[in-house]
Structure 1
Amino acid sequence: MNWFLHDPEKWGAPVTVVVTGLGAVSCFGGGVDALWEGLLRADHRPVPAPDACGLPERPRLYAAPAGGSGTGRTGALVVEAVAEAVADARLTGGDLLDAGLTVGTSLGDIDLAELPDGPDRRLATHGVAAVVAGRFGIGGSGHTLSTACSAGAYAVAWGALLIETGQADVVVACGGDAFSRVAVGTLHRFGLLDPECCRPFDTDRSGMVTGEGAAAVVLESAASAGRRGVAAQAVLAGQGWSCDAHHPMAPEPSGGQLRRAVAQALSTSGPPGAVVLHRAGVALNDSVESTAVSEAVTAAGGDISRTAGYAPKAVMGHTAGAAGVFGCVIAARMLRAGLVPPNAHVTTVDPGCPMDVPLAGPVPLSRPAVLVSGTGFGANNAALLWEAAA
């Protein structure tokens, strides 16, 4: 398949990719409505876990999840999000038989691997896709993407590419991660956790706060959605990928490769009215992202001072492999409501961010287009531009 994917001349006529279903389970509860209402309230305060590892010292970290035998917490969360998205898209068992599946996750069902008699840790990441495919009877091409915190954005982008290249008419793109002693302990050791709260736009930000959850989108060719009589909720107007190849963790300081990915996403449409930023509270990473995105938006003809910047991690925490899919779900709801939620936990706005930073309450979306930015350890970058459906 690789020769086909990397040679656009063999793709044939352009294919429009749309979103027909959304699903989420977050700190606000189950469902996309609960997520959106929580973002609009902007009053949730994710705080660090009470000890260095962030989790109890007991070998078994969680009660048995509802997902059943062989399913860990991440798999159970993803199943719940996918169930909502599939129902929202009105997909039948027959539709799913040939559908594709892309899963973005950082550590997958790591809670199972952390048990004394758990499976090999290397298998924890890939098991989520098997659980989802088996639960819903998704019989088409299946892929797991684990590019650290950009995994969810890559899962959506790869799912769209499968449709654009004729590999599938429908793809369920999802992402999820759960609290993990391994993850929290590692981040703590690297000094990446804010001891107070998650405050991505504040000048005094000093790190991230971990979260957990899962999100899902049903991607579909516009032709397929039309045949099924299902309305599009958002249209993918462009996407771009890149890798800094600079450092295992830190971004390349100039942000050149992220800027290139954003420029590619904007190249066929134009500037967005808002940006759902990856911005997690890590000072250097946040600054590099803001600068790179702002430069690309300006080069595309946008007025960056009127482009709303939004950082959902302030109220959700960092959901790792789910973050990019959450970004796409949030973008779709922004387009539907014509609003950008307010940013939370800001005392003094970072003066280095040239974007408009809504604080007092929701603000109107200035243009019916929303950019989602995703970055991850290893500086894997993905950007997706969503526009309102006609």
Structure 2
Amino acid sequence: MTVVVTGLGAVSCFGSGTGALWEGLLGASRRPDPAPDVCGLPARPHLYAAPDTGGPEGGTGRTGALLATAVAEAVAEAGLTPQDLCDAGLTVGTSLGDIDLAERPEGTAPSFPATHRVTASLATRFGIGGPGQTLSTACSAGAYAVAWGAELIETGQADIVVACGGDAFSRVAVGTLERFGLLDGECCRPFDADRAGMVTGEGAAALVLESAASAERRARPAQAVLAGHGWSCDAHHPMAPEPSGEQLRRATARALAGLGTTPGAAVLHRAGVALNDTVEATAVSEAVTAAGGTGGEVLGYAPKAVMGHTAGAAGVFGCVIATLVLRHRLVPPNAHVTTPDPDCPLSVPLDGPAPLPRPSVLVSGTGFGGNNAVLTWRAAA
């Protein structure tokens, strides 16, 4: 069964809405302003905040508020009615859910701000009555949420699925990443030979996935078509990827099999962590080569350089960006590259937006624990 995208939504450090996101990605030299003291830590270059979207409601925290804004935009663009949503599915990718409720200094927060509570609050707020899933596979959670939503449609469990992902800042998470030496105190430089770590961000993104038959019945235009998706798990280390990239390559090969051609671009998980970046780019390139293409034919793009690592939202942001790339037929330039990584087998646009050579985009998501999810998208006819 063919799965298409009929609605997009986003809240990022560039502002609210997919328009603000696209403009921010095109302005690659801009570094988002450091966040204020949003989680009890001093402002610093590696905290990039999303705007205030009006505050939590109904006992939810900041992640729930960000997700509600992104979902509202996607639902509106898709033209979904309350009746449509009554039977729709919902998949949510998040690493920590409304973790801010547990980190409040007054100590009045619930003792378990579980990730599934965010999903429940979204379902209640929007009247989404179909199957609901919460995916919490660390930083690949968003990519899993989109792929899982597609599977709900492919298996006939729903005609429409709202797939979304979100995470807000966590004092404990940021402190832990800094203690592990995974944060770059200057900026995120995923394609630079001297990259020194990630930059933390926050935000939420959403897509309305729909069977092609449902979109046609509702007279809604398809913005992108899901060509394939694949999952795998390294089971190698709690944090580090398996060095050979075998399992990521397997997930990529499965996603490429549905596409049947070399993707024009790849929206990578690449976050500025040297080993992780190298394993990912190599695995993607090898899978493309095995499918009959070459890595050099693919334009690699790393949005985390300008919007930070948004954890459970990252994979959904990747799919939203892939849809925008297909819409505009442009790949945004990569930021903060002084000395290009000589070991990257992909082509890397630097000086400005590059024309998309073929109307297809791969999205890669990886996470702690070796959780991998890869999706491929093609332009709608």
TM-score range, shorter chain: over 0.9
Partner amino acid for 2:149? Answer: G
Match of 1:91 in 2: 80
Match of 2:335 in 1: 344
Contact 1:48 1:196 in 2 (8 A): no
Match of 1:381 in 2: 372
Do the aligned partners of residues 149 and 100 (structure 1) sit closer, same or farther apart at CA in structure 2, a change above 3 Å counting? same
Contact 1:47 1:197 in 2 (8 A): no
Contact 2:236 2:369 in 1 (8 A): yes
Displacement of 1:299 after TM fit? 1.2
Aligned pair partner of 1:189 in 153, 174, 179: 179
Do the aligned partners of residues 315 and 34 (structure 1) sit closer, same or farther apart at CA in structure 2, a change above 3 Å counting? same
- Paired residues for 1:26-45 under 5 Å: 26-45=12-31
Gaps of 5+ in 2: 44-50
Q: Tell me the matched-pair count.
A: 370
Do the aligned partners of residues 64 and 370 (structure 1) sit closer, same or farther apart at CA in structure 2, a change above 3 Å counting? closer
Moved over 4 A (4+): 46-51, 62-65
Match of 1:6 in 2: none
Match of 2:359 in 1: 368
Match of 2:307 in 1: 316
Do the aligned partners of residues 342 and 63 (structure 1) sit closer, same or farther apart at CA in structure 2, a change above 3 Å counting? closer
- Paired residues for 1:112-191 under 5 Å: 112-115=101-104, 116-121=107-112, 123-191=113-181
Partner amino acid for 1:96? Answer: L
Q: Whole-Å Cα distance in 1 between the matches of residues 98 and 65 of structure 2? A: 9
Q: Deviations over 1:201-247 (max 9, x none)?
A: 11111110100000000000000000000000000000000000100
Q: Deviations over 1:297-322 (max 9, x none)?
A: 11112232121000000000000000
Partner amino acid for 1:69? Answer: G
Do the aligned partners of residues 240 and 63 (structure 1) sit closer, same or farther apart at CA in structure 2, a change above 3 Å counting? closer
Match of 1:215 in 2: 205
Match of 1:78 in 2: 67
Q: Whole-Å Cα distance in 1 between the matches of residues 238 and 307 of structure 2? A: 25
Contact 1:48 1:197 in 2 (8 A): no
Partner amino acid for 1:303? Answer: T
Matched, 1:244 2:234: yes
Match of 1:205 in 2: 195
Do the aligned partners of residues 42 and 50 (structure 1) sit closer, same or farther apart at CA in structure 2, a change above 3 Å counting? same
Displacement of 1:47 after TM fit? 7.5
Do the aligned partners of residues 37 and 63 (structure 1) sit closer, same or farther apart at CA in structure 2, a change above 3 Å counting? closer
Contact 2:36 2:42 in 1 (8 A): no
Match of 2:46 in 1: none
Contact 2:68 2:122 in 1 (8 A): yes
Partner amino acid for 1:327? Answer: G
Do the aligned partners of residues 48 and 198 (structure 1) sit closer, same or farther apart at CA in structure 2, a change above 3 Å counting? farther
Displacement of 1:189 after TM fit? 1.1
Aligned pair partner of 1:357 in 348, 365, 381: 348
Displacement of 1:69 after TM fit? 3.2
Q: Give TM-score, length-normalised by structure 2.
A: 0.94
SS where residue 242 of structure 1 aligns? strand
Partner amino acid for 1:366? Answer: P
Matched, 1:298 2:284: no
Q: Whole-Å Cα distance in 2 between the matches of residues 316 and 64 of structure 1? A: 17
Contact 1:49 1:55 in 2 (8 A): no
Q: Whole-Å Cα distance in 2 between the matches of residues 94 and 218 of structure 1? A: 15
Displacement of 1:117 after TM fit? 1.8
Partner amino acid for 2:209? Answer: L
Contact 1:65 1:72 in 2 (8 A): no
Match of 1:9 in 2: none
Displacement of 1:262 after TM fit? 0.2
Percent same amino acid among aligned pairs? 77
